[in-house]
């Protein structure tokens, strides 16, 4: 009887070890990506000579999402919006958090009173180190003023107050290294593949990035206030090239990240 009990015990131990090792040794895989088309609905975003940011970002989001779906059918692609509708900033982050997403990509267009300003830049969450970075964050964060109960949802945060951004100096994002790495890959693709003017990888206090719990980036794909940039951003070829560049950056990020695990 004791021999039978011992044999059963040994079998259980072996099976347990195999199951445990299977979980421990399971390779890391990106399973869910959230694509955020900035602005929407009554929030038109930046305004160009003949375009609105909300329309350009939606076109880019749908094109990027399709590439991910076509090339990675095992990855779940979630859109914060697929139509021209207004979504609160906090809800955009909540969508990603509820889905336990592995990555959050927010797509935007830039604007400047200096119409000569052009090029692309990609942001990760962090404290701004220049007035220009702060101004971009202020413009994107000002969207919350269009939301109901924004003071309650954002703990009284005033997007127009420079002092309010001090909070971000206290924020340590555990995903910052991955976010900056992906941001770098996006800028490399824009520069090498599209020959876009590289405005660099930057950090600033974007609420939508602040509220997410995964590696997150915000891409300012170009300036609608610049004639050449606007023509590129609103053209079919331009949008295809931009979305493809982001896709290729993601591809490299995914391969490198999963290789490390």
Q: Which domain holds residue 79?
A: 48-111+129-260
Residue 220 belongs to some domain of the structure: yes
Q: Cβ distance 108 to 37 under 8 Å?
A: no
Neighbours of 204 (CB within 10 A): 25
Q: Are 63 and 181 in contact (CB under 8 A)?
A: no
φ/ψ (deg, to 5) at 40: 130, 155
Answer yes or no: is 68 within a domain.
yes
- The answer as to whether 118 is a domain residue is no
* 105 belongs to a structural domain: yes
Looking at the structure of the chain, the number of domains it has is 1
pLDDT tens sequence for the chain (261 residues): 555 454 544 444 444 454 444 444 567 899 999 999 999 999 999 999 999 999 999 999 999 999 999 999 999 999 999 999 999 999 999 999 999 999 999 999 999 999 999 999 999 998 777 888 889 999 999 999 999 888 888 888 899 998 888 777 666 578 999 999 999 999 999 999 999 999 999 999 999 999 999 999 999 999 999 999 999 999 999 999 999 999 999 999 999 999 865
Determine the Cα–Cα distance for residues 150 and 205; give it in Å rounded to an integer: 17
Phi and psi at 33, nearest 5°, equal -125, 130
Q: Which helix (H) or strand (E) holds 68?
A: helix 53-71
Name the one residue in this structure whose structure tokens are 């994107």: 140
Domain assignment present for residue 10? The answer is: no
Query: 247 in a domain, yes or no?
Result: yes
pTM over 0.75: yes
Asked, for residue 82, whether it belongs to a domain, the answer is yes
Tell how strand 120-125 and strand 216-223 pair up: antiparallel
Is residue 27 included in any domain, yes or no?
no
225: domain CATH number is: 3.40.630.40
Q: Where are the alpha helices (DSSP H) in 88-235?
A: 89-98, 131-141, 150-153, 176-192, 207-210, 227-234
């Amino acid at each position: 009887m004791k021999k039978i009990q011992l044999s059963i015990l040994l079998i259980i131990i072996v099976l347990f070890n195999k199951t445990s090792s299977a979980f421990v040794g399971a390779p890391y895989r990106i399973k869910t990506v959230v694509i955020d088309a900035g602005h929407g609905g009554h929030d038109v975003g930046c305004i160009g000579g003949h375009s609105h940011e909300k329309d350009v970002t939606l076109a880019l989001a749908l094109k990027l999402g399709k590439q991910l779906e076509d090339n990675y059918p095992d990855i779940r692609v979630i859109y914060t919006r697929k139509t021209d509708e207004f979504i609160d900033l906090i809800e955009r982050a909540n969508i990603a958090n509820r889905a336990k997403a592995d990555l959050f990509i927010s797509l935007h267009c830039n604007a400047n009173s200096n119409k000569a300003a052009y090029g692309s830049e990609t942001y990760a969450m962090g404290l701004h180190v220049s007035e220009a970075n702060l101004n971009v964050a202020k413009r994107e964060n000002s969207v919350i003023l269009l939301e109901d109960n924004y003071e309650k949802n954002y703990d009284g945060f005033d997007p127009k107050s420079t002092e309010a951004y001090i909070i971000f100096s206290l924020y340590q994002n555990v995903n910052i290294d991955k976010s900056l790495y992906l941001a770098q890959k996006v800028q490399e693709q824009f520069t090498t593949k599209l020959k876009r003017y590289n405005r660099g990888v930057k950090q600033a206090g974007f609420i939508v990035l602040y509220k997410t719990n995964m590696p997150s980036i915000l891409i300012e794909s170009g300036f609608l206030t610049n004639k050449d940039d606007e023509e590129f951003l609103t053209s079919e070829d331009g949008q295809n090239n931009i979305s493809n560049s982001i896709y290729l950056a993601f591809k490299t990020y995914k391969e490198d990240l999963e290789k490390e695990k």
